[in-house]
A and B are shown apart, each in its own frame.
Chain A
Amino acid sequence: MNRINERLNNKSKLLSIYFTAGYPKLEDTVPVLESLQANGVDMVEIGLPFSDPLADGPTIQTSGTQALKNGMTTTLLFEQLKDIRKTVSIPLIIMGYFNPVLQYGVENFCKKCQEIGIDGLILPDLPLAEYQEHYQEMFEKYGLINVFLITPQTSDERIKQIDNASNGFIYMVSSASVTGSQSGFGNVQTDYFARIKNMNLNNPQIVGFGISNSETFNAATTYANGAIIGSAFIKMLTESGVEGIGDFVKTIR
């Protein structure tokens, strides 16, 4: 069984962390992953940096720009991760934009992920229809879970389509925004969380965008199976580096 499914079956209120590979320093990728596991984080999204990250706010974009300046590439990321399964056993997902994957070769990319022990991919600009028509078979062949996003504007009909196409979890974007632009949740968000919960979807849901502290983490995980912290974690990394991870995780739960 895929590590993502296993973790979701056995645990609720999952804490998942997003960070940008090769940030703050090029060689930080593996130390960050090891520290996240050591501090009890349940799952990690490893950000593959991209020059033009449309869905991200300034914090994640700046970290990606720095990682690229540091020399991060797809090939180097795979090189850094080649022995990661010797030390890290929590589910690992690569999150990035579709163009770098396309240039690497989608099949080569999937194959490499399987070799390393990557469990899933989140590619926000690979749309559902394209995925189903061209890539689903390939992802499945290499044991990769593809994660789709939904937002408060996504229609029930489309949520059901996405639920049917998913085999891990659904990434619930908390509000209409790019990453890192929210502070706190209002009634609009909790209504949305409740609405999705009441749809009784096949796949568990994990909330992302706008989760920055224990308050937002608890609000999201009251309804959903877990929550993802990205920009707030990267801000901490910028200030405190890898050594700050333990304290950061303690402030969340």
Chain B
Amino acid sequence: MNYNVNEKGYYGEFGGAYIPEMLYPNVEELRQQYLKVMASDEFQAEFQDLLKEYVGRPTPLYFAKRMSEKYNTKIYLKREDLCHTGAHKVNNTIGQILMAQRLGKKRIIAETGAGQHGVATATVCALMGLECIVYMGEIDIARQAPNVARMKMLGATVVPATSGSKTLKDATNEAIRDWINNPTDTHYIIGSVVGPHPYPDMVARFQSVISEEIKNQLQEKEGRKNPDFVVACVGGGSNAAGAYYHYLDQPEVGIIAVEAAGKGIHTGESAATSALGKVGIIHGSKTLLMQTDDGQITEPYSISAGLDYPGVGPMHAHLFTSGRGEFISVTDDDAMNAGLALCKLEGIIPAIESSHALAIFETRTFKPDDVVVVNLSGRGDKDLNNYIEYFKL
């Protein structure tokens, strides 16, 4: 079976471009150009140079010795938390800003939940001297004040999304409306592997540098390119798509996706889309999403703003329904404890998103000689307030 996108923009039955006609010219232009642009030597030279000199790649593949001893298996952490701006998000924004330049766009818009993608977008816009407008839910603006300040310092305009539930999905709606209203000079930098084709594929390709590096680094450390398992948290799923990308068609590599169960899958306060979602259309893509019987999109919940999204990217919906991926959900409590445990065991403060991936070792056992790579997608600086509140620090 093919786990990557097909020529029509689908992963199995998921994906496509369910967009109003107003967006068709923009999305179609991107669809026709993205592979050509990305394949050009000139693009790749600039992209690779920025990843190395500006982002600080390659990020280490770190053997977590004490954690491995605790769980009696071999755990490697892919240190995306060490990227410039503190998370993997910048891999994609670097790629997309270069794409936008080649498409002749002068104005950049983005949506953000926790603010990580907003910061990563504001950063590359500052780097390239392009105007940047970031849509962010009013509620997220209140709970992520430091990232709002960062975006402003970087020169971006942060526009509150005041419609609907005032969180990530509404910020995405507002960004899409901005794009409808500005159809010629604007590029929309989507932050995850969601949205209409070609976005899920384009973002996955920009993030695929993660698994490309894992292959080379594992060869050096273990004498083999493939781990037994690769583990990542999934909200929309961009860090996961990057970590899985070069392993999708290697059945010997187990793919583990970790979703946010929030307060528990059946509490009504959860973001575990694979367990709670049904097939539907969100933000231009056919995928699994949380919705009422009547097809209204419902509001998810997770302590982690980055996982607080009612859908998953179409690649992940396909990994789930085809059985290629093993989907596990982790509660707020288990994630928070796993985050604190990593601090004490390895001296690394992880983002709460990434803590969800770390939490699986408490319940999912691995063999002593299994090589398990966990994508540590971001650092926890942005989450300090949450950690302080939760642990009464």
Among the listed stretches B78-86, B122-130, B294-302, which one makes contact with chain A, having 4 or more residues with CB under 8 Å of it? B294-302
Count of residues in A whose CB is under 8 Å from the partner chain:
41
Out of B22, B177, B295, name the residue touching A74 (CB < 8 Å).
B295
Among A14-22, A52-60, A235-243, the one that faces the other chain is A52-60
Instruction: Check if A201 is an interface residue, CB within 8 A of chain B.
Output: no
Which of A95-103, A213-221, A222-230 has 4 or more CB atoms under 8 Å from chain B?
A95-103
Contact (Cβ within 8 A) A99 B280: yes
Contact between chains at A125 and B19 (CB < 8 Å): yes
Per-residue CB proximity of A53-72 to B under 8 Å, as 1/0? 11101100110010010000
State whether A54 touches B177 (Cβ < 8 A): yes
Report the Cα distance A54→B16, complex, angstroms.
16
Min distance, Cβ B105 to any Cβ of chain A, angstroms: 14
Residues of B within 8 A of A55 (CB): 20, 22, 177, 180
B25 close to A155 (CB less than 8 A): yes
Residues from chain A with a CB closer than 8 A to the CB of B280 are 99, 102-103
Does A177 interact with chain B (Cβ within 8 Å)? Answer: yes
Stretch of B46-54, B181-189, B252-260, B346-354 lying at the A interface: B181-189
* Per-residue interface assignment for chain B, residues 1 to 41, with 1 indicating a CB less than 8 Å from any chain A CB and 0 otherwise: 00000000000000011111110110000000000000000
Tell me whether A148 is interfacial, beta carbon within 8 Å: yes
Is B281's beta carbon under 8 Å from chain A?
yes
B98 CB to closest chain A CB (Å) equals 24
Please encode chain A, from 170 to 198, with 1 for each CB lying within 8 Å of some chain B CB and 0 for all others: 00010011100100000000000000000
B20: A residues at CB distance < 8 A: 54-55, 124-125, 149
B182, B183, B282, B294: the one within 8 Å of A52 (CB): B282
A102 to B295 Cα, complex, angstroms: 8
Least distance between A222 CB and chain B CB atoms (Å)? 23
Is the beta-carbon distance between A178 and B180 smaller than 8 angstroms?
A: yes
A62 contact set on B, CB distance < 8 A: 163
Give chain A's interface residues, CB within 8 Å of chain B. Answer: 50-55, 57-58, 61-62, 65, 68, 73-75, 97-104, 124-127, 130, 148-151, 153-155, 158, 173, 176-178, 181
Q: Report B's interface with A, CB cutoff 8 A.
A: 16-22, 24-25, 163-164, 169-170, 173, 176-177, 180-184, 278-284, 291, 293-298
Q: Would you mind naming 17 contact pairs between A and B with Cβ atoms under 8 Å apart?
A: A54-B19, A55-B22, A57-B177, A61-B163, A74-B295, A99-B281, A99-B297, A101-B295, A103-B294, A104-B294, A124-B20, A125-B281, A125-B284, A127-B19, A127-B24, A151-B25, A178-B181
